[in-house]
Structure 1
């Protein structure tokens, strides 16, 4: 008979406790984009884990284009690398229809689903059921340096035009002092430069496709919009504009190197925060500019948290995403980061909170922009698709990225605008034929 030496009681108790904790704890992998709101979410990991000691968070934080590529590849191949994915209004209905996302019905009563803005909730639903929960929502708007505008005697109307914006950028452009007249997205990608460019094309009267799904990228409206965009950035933009996406332009504007910036409303909280922005005390804002029509001039988007159907940790993932998109989370960010920094554009209650209204002079403006953006009627001529800054079909991710590269080539001078759009037209029409949309 083999004798074993008994462990001291305290040691045995500690070992059992450690083993029990290890056995009970579930690690979930959360993939997200490296935007400021998500970085705040990651910084609050300890708060979540303290309240949920049985769940541990493992973060994968990626640049926007890389995130989209990784998410799409993983979900389409049943890779199962992630338990929570940060995706948006474009992906959710398409992926939900294919059965790739877990439906989010029967949410806790205290989550208050009815508090979510209806436009955002509808965009993240399939057959009336949510398949992702909104982390933040956004439209687009124009930010500008009020101090520079005042010095130049420029008054901004309630609805600026793109011709006026070009004139203002020309007046204020001062490269000798590292001040660009305007900053706009130039980095290629369907969710980077093409998110902005699509709204520009919309307001010039253009559309991606006609009612028979024929590509319209070589139309006079596209030609006019892209030529305007290329000339504007080459004349009055910052150096290397073709490398700048949302984050890069936000950094430039916040450091005082842009006089005008047209981009997402979600940036407002950061550039109005004096701890994050050198120009927080000298800001003005207005509607996104228009050209021939106001239709489709400002987008509608939500970054949201979804659970892939392949995740084996559904309950823990649901615990996390309901926490990160709750009123409780918004309260936590308000108390720890300041009320101007709370995730915008998701809940009606945020826009009824006096603390937020006082800290965020842009609050009501953003709310109205989101409510008025209409993805079902975003073009001057009729179009067969849903979406303002994207086309709600599975093929658009590839099409938009390819066209974005061609637009960037026009911006850098590698191709003329006409050459870039002719190539974009041919590639897009070929894709649509192969996919069966056209003969």
Structure 2
């Protein structure tokens, strides 16, 4: 045996040992465009951390929520990193289901995270989920269709204006719907939109004594306005459309307006993805003059379940994916307009980002205007803008979402949907002990 053969064999053995000793962490994430982009860029992480391999489980939003909730509640241990939101983070942290993120590294700069976003992901001053991107919601609209309709979109429109514009922009013979709004049932799908919308109409989920409020005129006004608007100016089959379905419709030029997550702005304004990229304008979510706009506050974030056996590797990945360096990486590969928005103050102070992202100012204004502690016109006993931060809301919100989706589909009346929502909410809140 030659020396060269011995050396080659030794190198091969070392390489095989390195592969064998690499720790694999499993990451559960949502199939949104920013998360898909992150997966394509993870060579940067594995090159810097050759002892860590990544395994992805990418799921549709409702399925993701169901899987990670079941896994963490039953201590299943399937995932080492979970993509969760502003709703789950404080509840799960309080139950001891998440590890505090206190080893993200000296250069991570936790203080740079936007205060509204950081506060929603913390408990007792400790960060329990690191924001990958933060969002509110706003109006994205076709400037050419608005001009054709003889209207000018104000920076801060009312629901009345949105209704007028949507009906004027609708041209179903040309395949153009005046407005696209979420209709797919789910506490984080149609109910995220409708709860935020209801805030601007003066509605609330519960009064100060936790009594459900679906039998009040504010909810009736909200749901009547929504269903009539969608019937007059929305797409066919809207009760099956969530974020991704409406995104596709807007990109294809089939929506005059879309009121949804601010994070979508980078996609609809990207000519690689959108046929209307050069025609998109932005405005704040609508109001009714009561002092609250119909916009939410959310962050898709990375958290580490307390049951993982691979916490150190998981935290390295979280630090990489949500740190400043990742923003620079996306900017270098995809351009500043495609950097995950809504998480860091430094991004909005960056002149390059401001220049590349015409939606930056409106996104920041939308995030800053949402107040989870005072979401509605009337006082409430809960925290959360488009959700109620109690464990029971996940199931209850989805049940109510199914009723409202059925009303949109014409399978029941608005009055029947609201009556059933009231009935099921009273029953659930009484069973859970909120109503004495």
**Same-fold call, TM > 0.5?**
yes
SS at match of 1:260: strand
* Structure 1 residue 8: Cα displacement: 5.3
What is the CA deviation profile of residues 13-44 of structure 1, one whole-angstrom value per residue up to 9, with x for unaligned ones?
Answer: 14421342134301000000000000000111
Match of 2:74 among 77, 84, 97: 77
Query: In structure 2, what is the equivalent of residue 358 of structure 1?
Result: 355
Q: Are the equivalent residues in 2 in contact too, given 1:296–1:378 (CA < 8 A)?
A: no
Query: For residues 168 and 101 of structure 2, what CA distance do their matches in structure 1 show?
Result: 51
Q: How does 1:280-429 map to 2 (within 5 A)?
A: 280-429=277-426
RMSD over aligned CA atoms reads: 1.4
What is the CA deviation profile of residues 262-288 of structure 1, one whole-angstrom value per residue up to 9, with x for unaligned ones?
Answer: 111100111111111111111111110
SS at match of 1:303: strand
Match of 2:144 among 127, 143, 147: 147
Query: In structure 2, what is the equivalent of residue 160 of structure 1?
Result: 157
Q: How does 1:14-29 map to 2 (within 5 A)?
A: 14-29=11-26
Change in 2 beyond 3 A, CA 1:8/1:281: closer
The reply on whether 1:45 has 2:46 as its aligned counterpart is: no
Match of 2:108 among 72, 96, 111: 111
Query: In structure 2, what is the equivalent of residue 220 of structure 1?
Result: 217
Query: For residues 150 and 289 of structure 2, what CA distance do their matches in structure 1 show?
Result: 26
Query: For residues 361 and 177 of structure 2, what CA distance do their matches in structure 1 show?
Result: 29
The reply on whether 1:257 has 2:254 as its aligned counterpart is: yes
Query: For residues 20 and 253 of structure 2, what CA distance do their matches in structure 1 show?
Result: 52
* Structure 1 residue 157: Cα displacement: 2.1
SS at match of 1:170: helix
Structure 1: runs of 5 or more not aligned: 1-6
The reply on whether 1:432 has 2:421 as its aligned counterpart is: no
Query: For residues 276 and 113 of structure 2, what CA distance do their matches in structure 1 show?
Result: 32
Q: Are the equivalent residues in 2 in contact too, given 1:300–1:375 (CA < 8 A)?
A: yes
SS at match of 1:27: strand
Structure 2: runs of 5 or more not aligned: none
Query: For residues 103 and 8 of structure 1, what CA distance do their matches in structure 2 show?
Result: 49
Query: In structure 2, what is the equivalent of residue 55 of structure 1?
Result: 52
Query: For residues 46 and 294 of structure 1, what CA distance do their matches in structure 2 show?
Result: 47
* Structure 1 residue 292: Cα displacement: 4.6
Q: Are the equivalent residues in 1 in contact too, given 2:104–2:315 (CA < 8 A)?
A: no
Q: How does 1:113-192 map to 2 (within 5 A)?
A: 113-192=110-189
Query: In structure 2, what is the equivalent of residue 4 of structure 1?
Result: none
Moved more, 151-160 or 122-131: 151-160
Query: For residues 298 and 171 of structure 2, what CA distance do their matches in structure 1 show?
Result: 33
Change in 2 beyond 3 A, CA 1:247/1:255: same
Q: Are the equivalent residues in 2 in contact too, given 1:255–1:279 (CA < 8 A)?
A: yes
Query: For residues 351 and 12 of structure 2, what CA distance do their matches in structure 1 show?
Result: 50
SS at match of 2:325: helix
What is the CA deviation profile of residues 312-341 of structure 1, one whole-angstrom value per residue up to 9, with x for unaligned ones?
Answer: 100100000000001100000011111111
* Structure 1 residue 82: Cα displacement: 0.2
* Structure 1 residue 296: Cα displacement: 5.0
Query: For residues 282 and 16 of structure 1, what CA distance do their matches in structure 2 show?
Result: 58
* Structure 1 residue 50: Cα displacement: 1.1
Query: In structure 2, what is the equivalent of residue 3 of structure 1?
Result: none
Q: Are the equivalent residues in 2 in contact too, given 1:205–1:292 (CA < 8 A)?
A: no
Q: Are the equivalent residues in 2 in contact too, given 1:92–1:124 (CA < 8 A)?
A: yes
